[in-house]
Chain A
Amino acid sequence: MKKILTTVFIAAVSLINAQNLKLIVNNYSTTFDFHGTLSAHNFGGGCYPYVTTNSPAMVVVPADSNMSNGNELVYANFKDQYLNSLYPNASWVVQLSATTQTVRAWNHASIAPGGVISANTKWSSSQFQMYYAGTSTPEPSFSGLIGEPQDPCTGASSNISTLYGDVEWFNITTGNVDYSYLQIY
């Protein structure tokens, strides 16, 4: 009986957490390419699971790639991004605790939508470095950790302003829908 109740409880929690999430990156800068990790983690107590792009670790969204020309990055979840996004990420680093880390392919069952890891993570942050468009020359002053503010798991800021451009992270949420935007101007 206890087992059944536990199962029902876990199912209920998973349902509550079954959110409609998306991460959208709009690079409006015409001078700089965006190179950055994209991470999601648990916001419901503790930081794990903690999931980060792995191949490539730094996703590149070139200068002037945004909704205006249809070249924005859209990740719906860890799996479908590989099939539908213009910037597919073939595998993810999955941390279940501070000491356990596994690399999972985009189609691994454990990170599929509706699974425990997917249901308990939300897009959180990006460690990024801007590069002069089309080159391997970084602009050292245009980099940082952008993401959800007041997040002890990352320590990210939601606004970064530099002489070279600005980056912001914001959300638009309603009900179980939560869209996270990373915009570079």
Chain B
Amino acid sequence: MKKLLLSAAFAVLTLASCSNESSAVNTVESMKTPQMENFDKAFKSLGDPQNRPTEEEKKRNTSELSDRRKALLVPASKELILSTGITEAELMRKTGGDISQIIVWATQIYMKKSEGIRKNIKAEN
């Protein structure tokens, strides 16, 4: 009897964990790599009070993100590029260390990965 109860409890736990698993897996958020998450955080951090545009930056005649604020995106961008197997040397050779090129390259990788995740979720459902 005790054995039966135990195995019933075990079965219930297993089932519950399985159903939790699928609900957790089926969101874009949960399928992102840590590097993608850090890239997200970097963009969000542009809204932090200390990272908002200064009065001087607001007065510029261009909407190009200032170098000061671009620099906030660079570490996560580099990390994302390197996570695809590209070496630091290749990264420097291809971008010449230009921060705009690094961010744009990372954005392209990010978008491709996001698209892949969305397609996977669609295929699963």
Contact = CB atoms under 8 A, between A and B. Distances in A.
Interface of A: 26, 28, 66-71, 74, 84, 147-150, 158-159, 166, 168-175, 177, 179-181, 183, 185
Contacts of A159: 53, 58
Is chain B's binding surface mostly helix, strand, loop or mixed?
A: helix
B123 to A, nearest CB: 16
Nearest to A158: B63
Interface residues of B, number: 35
Interface string B11-32: 0000000000000000111001
Residue with the greatest number of chain A CB neighbours at <10 A, chosen from B60, B103, B104: B104
B71 to A, nearest CB: 12
B124 interface: no
Contacts of B114: 70
Is chain A's binding surface mostly helix, strand, loop or mixed?
A: strand
Contacts of B41: 68
A10 B29 CA distance: 45
A184 B107 CA distance: 19
